[in-house]
Structure 1
Amino acid sequence: MIQDKFKRWIAGAAAVSCFMGAISAGAAASSNKLPFNDIAGSFAKDAIVRLYNKEILSGTTESTFSPKKSVTRAEFVIILDRVLGIEPVHSAINPFKDVSEKAWYYDAVTAAVQVGLADGTGAHTFEPAKAVTRQEAAVLLVRALNQTGINGSTSAYVDEEEIASWADSAVGAVRTLGLMSGDENDQFRPSDGMSRQEMAAVIDRVLQNVKWAAALNKQSNATRIQMGWQYGQTTAQFEQSVFQAKVTTLSPRWFFFDPNGVVADNADQSLVTWASKNKRQIWAMVGNRSNQEVTHQNLSNVTYRGKVVSQLTSYVQKYGLKGLNIDFENLAPADRASMTAFITELSTQLHKIGAVVSVCVSPDLGSDWTDGFDYQALGAVADYIVMMAYDEHWSTSPKAGSVSSMPYVNNAVTTLLKVVSAKKVILALPYYNRDWTIAKDGSVIASELTLVEQDSLVRKRALRPTWDAAVQQYTVSYQLNTLKHQIWVEDGRSLAAKYKTVMDHNLAGLAYWYMGGASPDIYTSLSNAERFYGLSFD
């Protein structure tokens, strides 16, 4: 329940913030049984008490609430995080020079920024200690409740012209929604700091709305597939990563094409046992080692293709697998029809034993690399198509750039959805990146990094990332041996944006290349994305 999240927030932050000050039972018993001795005359007294009892608000000391004191930007974000059930995230990627990684509010601000709830006052400033203005609060409330489509006029306010253009629609919306209004002089006071009692009244109004309260208390029943590939990890390491990430479907690299219709078997029975015990499915990966000649031989020769299908079916039965994940690289355009025939025959056999077939594809850019895949035909016979929305700029690319920008991802998904049903599409996200060395002549060399290695480099060099709204990623650069290095960062914010694409199109699920590449904070970021983007207040 959301209530449990509030308790964890209180436990973690109370010791380090006067705003999140400790609350004692003794203090609660004083001042006519009110939790604070300075709220009896506050217009928001009842709201403060209700929110205190729900453990959403606390005092500035054990016995005082300071109702007329202004709420800071950081404090208001924390309250919204609590209300929405957004968990704190401790990321290595910090764009703000005025938000220390050691600050008590760092994790809350990071979490809110990652899902698009909050943003900075500048490229590298958040101004956490600044009072949140009433117009800023209006914008944050509209975002939190996903009420961007609500119309509302600000013409009733005599200070209408003082409302910033970026806040005008939000100020009108919160008036229409009954959350915020003007004072007795018909002034909205957009630039005034919001007081703690005003904040309490507004948050209480949100929770008094039966429909909104029900939405906030509703537990996610998402059944989206969460698939993780094994690469560069031992079985024990893979199991640990899967468990931490709450991945439901495992794809170990077990089966590979060999010549003459032979499929090499590298299965690990211990992983099968572990997956069964921990209620995970295994869709073992079938690869071709990027060997175009052997792939052509096994797909185009009817006899060899039959042998491959028979062996794979027997492996699925032998190990009790729930499915297979077909990942062929360097497939020749001439093998397009043979590839479709192979997936058709394999699906027919696996469906007879209750197993599924998923096929990995790259974005259709009209190149030889993807000409071997008939997306529409494959989507008709396979259970799932896994869109590997990365390697936009590959390891030997002549130009430095993002591994997976949002325009690239969106184009890949929307193009695929023209011929394959959304309920069959799984979006694969990258847990790796590239550090680009840019020579003085403009040539580039790429070094692959896991996201763990990327974060370590950012911390070691104290790099300050800058958000690029066009690609929906941070970028960082540094000098080493007189050469410029540049990284298009993958972090909780960029991955949350990609996750939103999955939810916007109601895709079947997500896949991650590869387990172990991301630090645990990424898992929280993606969980927050599922939570925040899944809230519906309509």
Structure 2
Amino acid sequence: MFGAFNSVSLAAQSTTLPFDDIKGNFAEKNIVDLVKEGVVDGTGNRKFEPNKYVTRAEFVTMTDRLFKLQPVNADMPSFHDVSPKSWYYGWVEAAIQLGIVEGKSKTQFMPAAHITRQEAAVLIVRALKVDPGSDSGDRLPYADADQVAPWAAPYVLAAQTLGLMGGADGKFRPTDPMTRAETAAVLDRVLQDKVWNKAIHKATDFGLQIGWQNGLTTSQFEEEIKGTNVNTLVPRWFFLENNQASLSNYADPSLSVWAKQNHKKIWAMLGNHSDPVLTHQFLSNEAKRKTVVQQLTGYVKTYGLSGINVDFENVSPDDRLYLTAFISELSTSLHGVGAVSSIDVSPDLGTDWTEAFDYEALGRYADYVVLMGYDEHWAGDPVAGSVSSLPWVESALNRLLSVVPASKTVLALPFYTRDWTLKPGGAVSEELSLIQQGHRIRSVNYNRTWDADLGQNVLSYTRQGSQHRIWVEDGRSLSLKTMMAEKRGVAGFAYWYIGAETPDIWTSLTNATRYASY
């Protein structure tokens, strides 16, 4: 069984081979290599059963293990026939989320079906992120090339060219099932390649992993952080105020102590209550800017902060130059005490909402620019749609990267979505955390369609006579956005907000970052 690794007994350790039935097999060395790597195990009683056929679920599991991926206990199953209770559930979900494998149909994965040789070729070439081109199969060097399915032909040729899969007696046998020995041979050939081997065994660099605090007490925030990849905390501590104090201070020194003990950094947030009048009064007054800069620099030293995160929203276009000046002044002062500056910006949509952001100048003066990759469709939007579709985020990120270096850019991802009620006069929405989304989905009878263009599942249901639609944010959608941004070399990611996500999200994001590094 592939559901769990079998511990090797003391008796087995004393023998040369891990199994009694592989000596002399063509894949003997491959099997031994993969046992050492934790990629394959036996079927019990010191047997490997090299001639036994491999199921789709088993092949996916071994491929995931080869690439050092972790099983994902996804909050929402991708297929009707892959039960969350099955031993292979997490392995299948992990591969689906990264685009390594697809179902046999939109609703069925067929985990117990034997994987064919041509299906195996497609899966392993795709897992290695090799573009097979669009060869029709005319160049396949096999007598039975005409039996290779058109959708598999480019991958079969790629697998042959890469030295991963070959034929026998001049034939490829595309529809024959893969044996366990054949599978071991293919996977071990990946390991024997020095480039692939180095990539697989290289430690993953997660870069900046920023988590905002929202609606949680300090102790709750600390507890939530423990189960995440977050290495930089952003508590909402400081806000502009319309009084002589200039800033309100909600700092909790105990978080600073905890962060230091747990090797985390703190970039305390400076907010503006989304108040354009208050913000203008502050930004346009050089003396007030100087006072706030001095206060924040003092707080950095008092609370042992590593930086300040500026989150100004609804800023008047007239304050564009003033905002840039403030970030320049703040950055200079923070650098003097060994801290960094960061500013949160919305995607450049060419509207008044973002006119105050001189993206190029902010990227020049701030240490990091955090792109808030969400609210594509927002609260109050009369048009229903995704909070953060893949093409929208990709376009926004590309635009920012045209003027801000990737090494200074952080992509913020949403841990929330919206449940849209479709009405004749326009849609209305309810914001849902990812936890609430899961509860909502499990409480209704829904139809779901994977939209490959948007990189999301679109779910619909009816309640009290009204049509509802949810553009689902989950491990799969967030992984696709993560891999897209990783390709562009961003400095890291931020998450709005910690505590809104389901636990599986962090496994998904870990896998996505690791897989993107290959």
Question: Fold conserved (TM > 0.5)?
Answer: yes
8 Å CA contact 2:306–2:339 kept in 1: the answer is: yes
1:295 aligns with 2:279: yes
Question: Distance in 2 between the 1:176 and 1:130 partners?
Answer: 27
Residue 484 of structure 1 and its aligned partner are, at CA, apart by 1.1
SS of the residue aligned with 1:419? coil
2:168 pairs with 1:183: yes
CA contact (8 A) 2:38 2:65 kept: no
In the aligned structure 2, how far is the partner of 1:344 from the partner of 1:211? 43
- The counterpart of 1:166, out of the listed 151, 159, 165, is 151
What amino acid maps onto 2:499 in structure 1? G
Q: Which residue of 1 aligns with 2:189?
A: 205
2:221 is the counterpart of 1:238: yes
| Cα displacement string for residues 322-377 of structure 1 (whole angstroms, at most 9, x for unaligned residues) | 11010111101111111111111111111111111101100000111001111111
- Secondary structure in structure 2 of the residue aligned to 1:357: strand
Q: How far did residue 22 of structure 1 move? A: 7.1
**Superposed, which structure 2 residues align to 1:340-355 within 5 Å?**
340-355=324-339
Q: C-alpha separation between the residues in 1 aligned to 2:247 and 2:199? A: 50
SS in 2 for 1:465: strand
Pairs within 5 Å for 1:66-145: 66-145=49-128
Q: TM-score, normalised to structure 2's length? A: 0.95
Give the C-alpha shift of residue 54 in structure 1.
Answer: 4.0
Q: CA deviation at 1:206?
A: 2.1
Residues 290 and 58 of structure 1: CA distance in aligned 2, closer, same or farther (over 3 Å): same
Distance 1:312 1:46, change over 3 A: closer
1:462-481 alignment, distance < 5 Å? 463=446, 465-481=448-464
1:374 maps to: 358
- Which secondary structure does the structure 2 equivalent of 1:253 belong to? coil
The change in CA–CA distance for 1:328 and 1:239 in structure 2 (over 3 A counts) is same
Match of 2:500 among 512, 517, 520: 517
Which of 433, 438, 444 aligns to 1:461? It is: 444
The answer as to whether partners of 1:379 and 1:424 remain within 8 angstroms in 2 is: yes
Partner of 1:483: 466
Question: Which residue matches 1:416?
Answer: 400
Mapped contact 1:99–1:128 kept (Cα < 8 A): yes
Rounded Cα–Cα distance in structure 1 between residues aligned with 2:37 and 2:194: 16
Shift of 1:461: 2.9
Query: Does the 8 Å contact 1:94/1:464 carry over to 2?
Result: no
Distance in 1 (CA, whole Å) between partners of 2:293 and 2:28 is 71
2: distance between equivalents of 1:361 and 1:375?
8
Structure 1 residues 26 and 317 mapped into 2: Cα distance closer, same or farther (>3 Å)?
A: closer
Report sequence identity in percent: 49
> What do residues 270-325 of structure 1 show as CA deviations (whole Å, max 9, x unaligned)?
11111111111111110010111111100112222222222222222221211101
- 1:167 partner amino acid: A
CA distance in 1 between counterparts of 2:445 and 2:515 reads 30
Counterpart position of 2:210: 227
1:434-465 deviation digits (Å, cap 9, x = unpaired) = 111112x1521111111011112222336463
**Structure 1 residues 388, 136: CA separation in 2 closer, same or farther (over 3 Å shift)?**
same
Task: From 356, 359, 372, give the equivalent of 1:388.
Answer: 372
- Which range moved further: 305-314 or 516-525? 305-314
Deviations 1:57-100 (A, max 9, x none): 22233243222221110000000011100001101221201111
Secondary structure, aligned partner of 2:31: helix
Contact 2:75 2:502 in 1 (8 A): no
The alignment partner of 1:368 has SS state of coil
Q: Of residues 413, 427, 436 in structure 2, which corresponds to 1:444? A: 427
Q: Distance in 2 between matches of 1:33 and 1:427?
A: 50
Aligned-pair CA distance for 1:105? 0.3
Q: Structure 1, unaligned stretches of length 5 or more? A: 1-8, 15-19
* 1:28–1:150 CA distance, 2 compared to 1 (3 A): farther
CA–CA separation in structure 2 for the residues paired with 1:457 and 1:120:
25
Cα contact 1:23–1:62 (8 A) shared by 2: no
The one-letter amino acid of 1:191's match is T
> 1:219 offset after TM fit, Å?
1.6
- 1:6 match: none
1:484 alignment partner, SS class: strand
C-alpha separation in 1, matches of 2:58 and 2:183: 10
Q: CA deviation digits over 1:359-409, x for unaligned, max 9? A: 110000011100111111111111111000100000100111000001110
Which amino acid in 2 is paired with 1:388? M
Please give the TM-score of this superposition, normalised by the length of structure 1: 0.91
Residue 155 to residue 54, structure 1, CA distance change in 2 (3 Å): closer
The answer to whether 1:264 aligns with 2:242 is no
Structural RMSD (CA): 2.1
Hey, what does 2:265 align to over in structure 1?
A: 281
CA distance in 1, matches of 2:502, 2:452: 24
Which residue among 509, 512, 518 is the counterpart of 1:526?
509
Give the 5 Å matches for 1:144-155: 144-148=127-131, 154-155=139-140
Could you say what secondary structure the match of 2:247 adopts?
Answer: strand
Distance 1:280 1:55 in 2: 32
Residue type of the alignment partner of 1:294: L
Structure 1 position 38, deviation (Å): 3.6
Render the CA deviation track for 1:95-138: whole Å, top value 9, x for unaligned.
Answer: 20111111110010001111111111111111101111111111
Q: Please identify, of 59-68 and 74-83, the stretch whose mean Cα deviation from structure 2 is larger.
A: 59-68
Q: Which amino acid aligns with 1:312?
A: L
